[in-house]
Chains A and B, each alone.
Chain A
């Protein structure tokens, strides 16, 4: 027996999403008798009988395997304390650095105020553990870092990376999106980096629009003609 798919809808805490035993409670939902109720404000969605609520607001929830961008807050004997711009602090232990480290000169590898791209390897009640032992992870040495709401990260990346690939192609920049909402942009021209920043702001403001990828394409074209006009004027 196949049930009809539930339409995407906005739910508020305590609201009944579906009745009946045909569905399983996922993230942001709870079973109460034979009803599935939402426990947070967001968009309710169903796939393979699993019902979940996509959060639209709230703080960043660290998960294992997330790529994040953080700032070195402090240096200890065993590693670095990293600030993820979330209430919980994170820790990067010595063993998780892919080269030999002189225990007396930790600051030569990463100093306070340095920014890093790292991966979460564990979330416990005591804190978050990080690693930089993988390709694409490590210290950030140049570029721009910007911050958006962490709930809008999936929109910036798009379906299977469609949005971020479009922005990369249009601007010729390297972009790393941290799941905690920090984004690292690196291009060969500062103008391109600023263009990416503007584009990402555009995406995060219009994050509820349907067919956003096409709209961003149009936006890039508009920006390009604007820039051309400016150059022509100067000439």
Chain B
């Protein structure tokens, strides 16, 4: 029974797909970044802080973060209808909540910071890739932040917990059914966002958080490297 668990793409249970990150990819934006988990690629662009429009949404007490998540029509094999839908509206809101705790935008009163996240290619964990790219883009735009957040999805294949699900694993219905838990954490391991799709015991959930803590550390290193390398390139 001690046979090592192996996944369909040959990864270990706690191994993420190959990650890649780069900042400064959208010249017209104030800050931008691209982040990928294997075949899942997200691109984020930050505009602002700029005057909030419509004016009635202005908040004189603090700045506002607005996220727009969108999957491009060619990002999946079957073309999806472009434009906002129920799912993308929800993910936009979730992304805002995941990022807001680290932002220090109180002084930007009556202003909005717009974050546009586009999924170029999707193979599960798109919201996590989107949050990772958005965090990088916000830092690149010079927005004051307490920390950088990193996001990862943890899933369950039958009884085994696995890190960074791909589409096949996400849809794995055999055994105990499909479970997907996206988690966002700061660099020092505080959770800013956690979702659960499926079923899990509280004991397993603790393991999930430990796995996420380890994985987000790896992601953080990738993000850190991307930000530091962008200046070397200019030199």
Q: Which residues in A have some Cβ–Cβ distance to B below 8 Å? A: 10, 12-15, 28, 30, 37, 39-42, 55-59, 87, 125, 151, 206-209
Contacts of A28 in B (CB 8 A): 144
Contacts of A151 in B (CB 8 A): 142
Chain A contact surface mostly: loop
Within 8 Å by CB of A87, from B50, B102, B145, B224, lies B50
Contact B231 A208 (CB under 8 A): yes
Most buried by A among B48, B144, B231, B235: B144
Q: List residues 111-155 of chain B with CB under 8 A from any CB of chain A.
A: 111, 139-148
Contacts of A125 in B (CB 8 A): 60, 109
Contacts of B223 in A (CB 8 A): 12
For the complex, give the distance between the alpha carbons of A177 and B187 in Å: 40
Contact B227 A41 (CB under 8 A): yes
Once A41-B140, A57-B30, A57-B140 are accepted as A-B contacts, the answer to whether A14 and B235 lie under 8 Å apart by CB is: no
The smallest beta-carbon distance between B80 and chain A, in angstroms, is 33
Check: B182 CB closer than 8 A to any chain A CB. no
The smallest beta-carbon distance between A171 and chain B, in angstroms, is 25
Check: B76 CB closer than 8 A to any chain A CB. no
The smallest beta-carbon distance between A42 and chain B, in angstroms, is 7
For the complex, give the distance between the alpha carbons of A12 and B142 in Å: 10
Most buried by A among B48, B50, B139: B139
Contact B145 A13 (CB under 8 A): yes
Contacts of A59 in B (CB 8 A): 30, 48-50, 142
Q: List residues 46-87 of chain B with CB under 8 A from any CB of chain A.
A: 48-51, 60
Contacts of B235 in A (CB 8 A): 208-209
Contact B145 A57 (CB under 8 A): no
- Could you mark each residue 20-31 of chain B with 1 if its beta carbon is under 8 Å from any beta carbon of chain A, else 0? 000000000011
The smallest beta-carbon distance between B104 and chain A, in angstroms, is 6
Most buried by B among A15, A41, A42: A41
Contacts of B108 in A (CB 8 A): 87
Within 8 Å by CB of B147, from A13, A56, A206, lies A13
Contacts of B144 in A (CB 8 A): 13, 28, 39-40
Contact B141 A10 (CB under 8 A): no
Most buried by B among A58, A207, A208: A58
Once A57-B30, A59-B48, A59-B49 are accepted as A-B contacts, the answer to whether A14 and B231 lie under 8 Å apart by CB is: no
The smallest beta-carbon distance between B91 and chain A, in angstroms, is 23
26 sampled A-B residue pairs with Cβ under 8 A: A10-B228, A12-B224, A12-B228, A13-B144, A13-B147, A14-B145, A14-B146, A14-B148, A14-B187, A39-B145, A39-B146, A40-B139, A40-B144, A41-B139, A41-B140, A41-B227, A57-B30, A57-B140, A57-B141, A58-B141, A59-B48, A87-B111, A125-B60, A151-B142, A206-B234, A208-B235
Nearest opposing residue in chain A for B235, CB measure: A208
Nearest opposing residue in chain A for B50, CB measure: A87
Contacts of A14 in B (CB 8 A): 102, 145-148, 186-188
User: Would you list the 10 A-B pairs with minimal beta carbon distance, nearest first?
Assistant: A58-B142, A14-B147, A13-B145, A57-B142, A41-B139, A208-B234, A39-B144, A12-B227, A87-B50, A87-B51
Once A87-B50, A125-B109 are accepted as A-B contacts, the answer to whether A10 and B227 lie under 8 Å apart by CB is: yes
For the complex, give the distance between the alpha carbons of A32 and B139 in Å: 19
Contacts of A39 in B (CB 8 A): 104, 144-146
Contact B139 A58 (CB under 8 A): no
Contact B148 A13 (CB under 8 A): yes
For the complex, give the distance between the alpha carbons of A58 and B145 in Å: 13
Within 8 Å by CB of B31, from A10, A30, A57, A207, lies A57
For the complex, give the distance between the alpha carbons of A151 and B234 in Å: 15
Nearest opposing residue in chain B for A151, CB measure: B142
Contacts of B224 in A (CB 8 A): 12, 15
For the complex, give the distance between the alpha carbons of A29 and B148 in Å: 15
